[in-house]
Amino acid sequence: MPNQQGFNTRAIHVGQAPDPTTGATVPPLYLTSTYTQPELGRHQGYEYGRNDNPTRQALEEALASLELGTGAVAFASGMAASDAILRFLDPGDVVVAAEDLYGGVYRLLERVYRPHHVRTVYQDLGRPAELEATLQRERPRMIWLESPSNPLLQVFDITQLSQLAHQYGAWLVVDNTFASPYNQNPLALGADLVVHSTTKYIGGHSDVIGGAVIARDPDLIERLKFIRNTAGGTLGPFEAWLTLRGLKTLGVRMEQHAANAAKIADFLSAHPAVDTVYYPGYRGPVAERQMRTYGGMVSFTLKTDGLSDPMAAVKAVLNRFQVFSLAESLGGVESLVGHPATMTHAAVPADDRRRRGVVDTLIRLSVGIEDADDLLQDVDTALDGVPKA
C-alpha cells in the first residue's frame, strides 16, 4: 500500500491484508519454529523461525511504512535493536552520543562496547559548533540521539544533525521511542537508522517487550537481518502479534496522550512547588517544526529552597500518586510516574547524572489516556506531599 495514505490507514492496513487462505481479517499468529519443505532444495519463503515468521513480517511491513523506510527489522527488545546497530562498529571506532540518553543504552555503550574498544564521546548536541569540533577530532562512525530525549525531553534538530553527520561520513541514528512514528519520521529528515523500543508507544499497552530498526538503505536492512539471524535477538511471533494489535491505534492514542500531557505541563508550570518543567511543547521552533504533537512525556523538578531533605520530599510526592503508577517504562495507556535518578538512570554514575541535569528531585511522567481531570487531580494531590517551607 502506498505511503501517501494517511498514518492511521497505514497503521491498520499495511502488511495486514486479509489472509489469502482463510480470509482472516487480522494477520494470524504463526506459532511455528520450522516450516515443512515440499521437496529438497525448495521452500515457500520460510525455513526457520529465527529468521522467518509471517506474523513478524506483517509487523515489519507496517513499521517500515509508518517510519517511511524501505524495511524494518524487529528484535526481541529495544536493547537488542540498539545492540544490532552497534554491531556495525569495529574496534577503534567512535560513537558520538547525546548526553541525555536512555540509561540502558548508556550501559550498553559503557559496559559492553567500551571494553571491546568502541569508545563513546558524550556531547550536548544542541551546540553545533562544539559538536563540529568533536566530529573533526574524533571522526565518529555514528551519531546517536533521542529526540525528545530521556528524561529531559530535549528536542534536537534532526535535519541539521543529519547534514552534519553526513559531512563527516557518520551515520545518524535516532532513537524515536519517545516521539513514536506518529509525531516524527527521522528518516524523512535525513537520519540513516531509526530505532524503537516498541515496548513503549507502539505496543502501547504495557504488555509486551520488543524493538525494531527501520532504514531507507536496503543494504543496512540486509545487514541488520544478518545480525539478527546470526546473533539471535529475534522478536517472538506472539510479541509481534501483540505489537501489531497495539500499533493500529497509535495515532488516536497519541492524540489523547498529547492533549493530556499539554494540560499537565501547564498545570505544573503554574504550581508553586515545581521548579522547572521539561516538555517538548516548551522547547521552541525546532520542536514546533519537527513534531506533529508534543507527545505524552513531561518531566519536572521540585523547588528545593526551603526543603531540608529533598529526597524525602520526592518520596512523599511519589507515594501520594493514586492514578499514576510508580513504575519503569512509558508509552502505555495507563499513566506512570518515575524517578530517573534511582530508576531508569541508576546505571549512570551520580556525578555524571547530576551534571547532565538528572538531579534527585527530577520526576518523570508518562501521561496516559485516562480522563485529563482525574490526572490533574492526581498530580495536584501528589504535590500536596511537598512539605511547606
Catalytic residue ranges = 50, 102, 175, 200
Judged by beta carbon, residue 77 or residue 162, the one nearer ligand PLP is: 77
Per-residue binder mask for ligand PLP (CB under 6 A), 125-164, x = binder: ---------------------x---x--------------
By CB under 6 A, residue 199 contacts ligand PLP: yes
* Strand, coil or helix: 195: strand
- Number of residues interacting with ligand PLP: please give it, by CB under 6 A: 16
Q: Hey, how many other C-beta atoms are within 10 angstroms of the C-beta on 291?
A: 20
Residues 163-182 close enough to bind ligand PLP by CB under 6 A: 175, 177-178
By CB under 6 A, residue 54 contacts ligand PLP: no
**What are the Cα distances from residue 95, in Å, to 110, 141, 145, 164, 364?**
11, 6, 11, 14, 27
Q: Is the bond into 2 cis (omega within 30 degrees of 0)?
A: no
Judged by beta carbon, residue 62 or residue 97, the one nearer ligand PLP is: 97
Q: Please state whether beta strands 325-326 and 336-338 pair in parallel, antiparallel, or not at all (unpaired).
A: parallel
Only one residue has cell 543496512, namely 220
Q: Are 264 and 336 in contact (CB under 8 A)?
A: no
Judged by beta carbon, residue 61 or residue 146, the one nearer ligand PLP is: 146
- List 197, 243, 256, 335, residue binding ligand PLP (CB under 6 A): 197
**What are the Cα distances from residue 80, in Å, to 76, 103, 145, 151?**
6, 14, 17, 21
Q: How far apart are CA 28 and CA 42, in angstroms?
A: 24
By CB under 6 A, residue 206 contacts ligand PLP: no
Residue nearest to ligand PLP according to CB distances in the complex = 78
Q: How far apart are CA 132 and CA 136, in angstroms?
A: 6
Residues 304-323 close enough to bind ligand PLP by CB under 6 A: none
- List 55, 71, 102, 283, residue binding ligand PLP (CB under 6 A): 102
**What are the Cα distances from residue 14, in Å, to 99, 238, 340?**
36, 19, 36
Contacts of 295 (CB under 8 A, 6+ apart): 148, 178, 179, 180, 183, 254, 257, 258, 261, 280
The nearest distance, CB 82 to ligand PLP, in angstroms, is 6
By CB under 6 A, residue 211 contacts ligand PLP: yes
The nearest distance, CB 281 to ligand PLP, in angstroms, is 19
* Strand, coil or helix: 107: helix
- List 14, 79, 135, 145, residue binding ligand PLP (CB under 6 A): 79
By CB under 6 A, residue 200 contacts ligand PLP: yes
Stretch that binds ligand PLP, among 61-69, 86-94, 196-204, 369-377 (CB under 6 A): 196-204
By CB under 6 A, residue 99 contacts ligand PLP: no
Cell matching residue 292: 506533529
Judged by beta carbon, residue 201 or residue 267, the one nearer ligand PLP is: 201
The nearest distance, CB 21 to ligand PLP, in angstroms, is 33
Q: How far apart are CA 163 and CA 228, in angstroms?
A: 29
Burial class (CB in 10 A: 0-12, 13-18, 19+), 23: exposed
Judged by beta carbon, residue 149 or residue 273, the one nearer ligand PLP is: 149
By CB under 6 A, residue 234 contacts ligand PLP: no
By CB under 6 A, residue 209 contacts ligand PLP: yes
The nearest distance, CB 22 to ligand PLP, in angstroms, is 32
Judged by beta carbon, residue 135 or residue 336, the one nearer ligand PLP is: 336
Judged by beta carbon, residue 107 or residue 320, the one nearer ligand PLP is: 107
Rounded to 5, what percent of the chain is helix, strand, coil?
40, 15, 45
Binding site for ligand PLP (CB under 6 A): 77-79, 102, 104-105, 146, 150, 175, 177-178, 197, 199-200, 209, 211
